[in-house]
Amino acid sequence: MSSTAGQVIKCRAAVAWEAGKPLVMEEVEVAPPKAMEVRLKILYTSLCHTDVYFWEAKGQTPVFPRIFGHEAGGVVESVGEGVTDLSPGDHVLPIFMGECKECAHCKSQESNMCDLLRINTDRGVMISDGQSRFSINGKPIYHFLGTSTFSEYTVVHVGCVAKINPLAPLDKVCVISCGISTGYGAAVNVAKPPKGSTVAVFGLGAVGLAAAEGARASGASRIIGVDINPKRFEEAKKFGVTEFVNPADYDRPVQEVLAEMTNGGVDRSIECSGSTSAMISAFECVHDGWGVAVLVGVPHKDAVFKTHPVNFLVERTLKGTFYGNYKPRSDIPAVVEKYMAKELELEKFITHSVPFSEINKAFDYMLKGESLRCIIHMDG
């Protein structure tokens, strides 16, 4: 790979030219990394609902043409000036948010919201010079979440790259780079359910199921899954969900149903749908005195959350989290080791697999609600 260092690489990328239209396989030019940047050869990527949400452009600023993708695994092809902790050939996970290791957030043990590299969904260029590293016939193709993994090669800021165990199978651990860590970390790092506790998980997609998995790993005795899609309930049993509630089955707020089921409310709740009504229900269903609700789902940009202040005064706690409170470079290698030690099972999240040339099938699976995670093999 060193023979391509410092040179423009031509490769395949799945380009979104406009909102909601199938991705088009194009030959793109990928520029060499600049200072504090790394060029990666992506071997496996997967489709997250966030990619679909911004591809549809229904709730935010549309930026096109764009290369989506932010859940992936690959190897370092070359590094830019000033990069000292990564070398060509290293196995890595690109992460949609970063860790500069120098700002107040990175130095805090309580935060992972890096000042320099926190998520910016509107930015389609590199932060160092405001330019894209992708082009077709000299015209820029925009980045997504600083990762753009729907390309055989991509350029990422060094702070958004986690170096991992080279023995870890990239076609499995690639899902750790977004959804699984987000849900699992929301449970084990933020909600922290005590052993024997009762946990409600709102939204049983991949992130919600990862949250259920984290609740089970923490020792929760009852895990109640809440979702309006009854087809998800059977699958959720594999992830530790013990009971199911469909809000559509009741003519009263689901938080009242849950409080009745649990003698006053659940000990912890984790909201993973992005629905504001689910967020309110997740907060209002926790027990007074000690209940903790954690918000994970990303709402519409104009969404408003309303609840009565007395819900706080009776000692309920509401928390938010981003990426499960994991710091990408410091913490994610240890999450990969959990998988290697068989403490974290990833295979059950992976429901489909397609070659890169058929990437649009992954979108179809997710839009139909048929997949949790579809692995895209970049060599196909």
In the chain, what percentage of residues exceed pLDDT 70?
Answer: 99
**List 45, 105, 152, 178, catalytic entry:** 178
Provide the CATH number for the domain around residue 103.
Answer: 3.90.180.10
pLDDT at position 189, please?
97
Catalytic (active site) residue 118: yes
Catalytic (active site) residue 103: yes
Residue located via tokens 């930026």? 63
Domain residues for the domain of 352 are: 9-177+346-377
Q: Do residue 81 and residue 35 come from a single domain?
A: yes
Residue 377, phi then psi, degrees to nearest 5: -85, 115
Categorize the per-residue pLDDT at 25 as very low, low, confident or very high, splitting at 50, 70 and 90: very high
What average pLDDT score do residues 351-377 get?
95
In a domain, residue 2? The reply is: no
**List 45, 50, 154, 198, catalytic entry:** 50
In a domain, residue 335? The reply is: no
Which segment of 84-88, 237-241, 303-307, 323-327 scores lowest on mean pLDDT?
303-307
**Residues β-bridged to residue 66:** 16, 142
**List 37, 39, 45, 48, catalytic entry:** 48
**List 70, 91, 157, 316, catalytic entry:** 70
Alpha-carbon span 313 to 284, nearest angstrom: 12
Q: Which carries the bigger pLDDT value, residue 259 or residue 305?
A: 259
In a domain, residue 334? The reply is: no
**List 11, 12, 56, 118, catalytic entry:** 118
Q: Do residue 49 and residue 93 come from a single domain?
A: yes
Q: Is the pLDDT of residue 30 over 70?
A: yes
Alpha-carbon span 94 to 246, nearest angstrom: 36
Residue 14, SS3 per DSSP: strand
Q: Do residue 211 and residue 309 come from a single domain?
A: yes
Pairing of strands 268-271, 243-245: unpaired
Name the burial class of residue 166, with classes exposed (0-12), middle (13-18) and buried (19+) by CB atoms within 10 angstroms of its CB: exposed
**List 66, 91, 99, 114, catalytic entry:** 114
Count of the separate structural domains present in the chain: 2
Catalytic (active site) residue 49: yes
Name the burial class of residue 204, with classes exposed (0-12), middle (13-18) and buried (19+) by CB atoms within 10 angstroms of its CB: buried
Categorize the per-residue pLDDT at 214 as very low, low, confident or very high, splitting at 50, 70 and 90: very high
Strand ranges (E), 182-310: 198-202, 222-226, 243-245, 268-271, 292-295
Q: Is the pLDDT of residue 54 over 80?
A: yes
Catalytic (active site) residue 11: no
Q: Is the pLDDT of residue 326 over 70?
A: yes
CB of 98 closer than 8 Å to CB of 160 = yes
Q: Do residue 108 and residue 28 come from a single domain?
A: yes
Categorize the per-residue pLDDT at 301 as very low, low, confident or very high, splitting at 50, 70 and 90: confident
Catalytic (active site) residue 160: no
Q: Do residue 228 and residue 305 come from a single domain?
A: yes
Categorize the per-residue pLDDT at 61 as very low, low, confident or very high, splitting at 50, 70 and 90: confident
Categorize the per-residue pLDDT at 223 as very low, low, confident or very high, splitting at 50, 70 and 90: very high
pLDDT at position 59, please?
63
Question: pLDDT tens across 129-172, in order?
Answer: 999 999 999 999 999 999 999 999 999 999 999 999 999 999 99
Q: Do residue 367 and residue 276 come from a single domain?
A: no
Q: Do residue 144 and residue 257 come from a single domain?
A: no
In a domain, residue 260? The reply is: yes
Mean pLDDT taken over the chain: 95
Q: Do residue 161 and residue 260 come from a single domain?
A: no
Q: Do residue 59 and residue 162 come from a single domain?
A: yes
Catalytic (active site) residue 272: no
pLDDT at position 89, please?
97
pTM over 0.75: yes
Question: pLDDT tens across 180-207, in order?
Answer: 999 999 999 999 999 999 999 999 999 9
CB of 154 closer than 8 Å to CB of 58 = no
In a domain, residue 146? The reply is: yes
Q: Which two tokens stand for residue 287?
A: 């027990």
Categorize the per-residue pLDDT at 2 as very low, low, confident or very high, splitting at 50, 70 and 90: low
In a domain, residue 336? The reply is: no
In a domain, residue 331? The reply is: no
Provide the CATH number for the domain around residue 246.
Answer: 3.40.50.720
Domain final residue pick, 282, 305, 321:
321
Cα three-residue angle 232-293-324, rounded to 5 degrees? 75
Q: Which two tokens stand for residue 315?
A: 């000692």
**List 71, 77, 152, 213, catalytic entry:** 71
Tell me the DSSP string of 46-99. E--HHHHHHHHTSSS----SB----EEEEEEEEE-TT--S--TT-EEEE-SS--
pLDDT at position 204, please?
96
Alpha-carbon span 47 to 361, nearest angstrom: 10
Number of helices (H), then strands (E), belonging to the chain: the values are 11, 17
What average pLDDT score do residues 34-38 get?
97
Catalytic (active site) residue 174: no
Alpha-carbon span 223 to 274, nearest angstrom: 20
In a domain, residue 362? The reply is: yes
Q: Do residue 93 and residue 193 come from a single domain?
A: no
pLDDT at position 77, please?
98
**List 77, 106, 157, 329, catalytic entry:** 106
pLDDT at position 299, please?
85
Q: Which carries the bigger pLDDT value, residue 90 or residue 3?
A: 90
Q: Do residue 204 and residue 233 come from a single domain?
A: yes
Q: Do residue 275 and residue 156 come from a single domain?
A: no
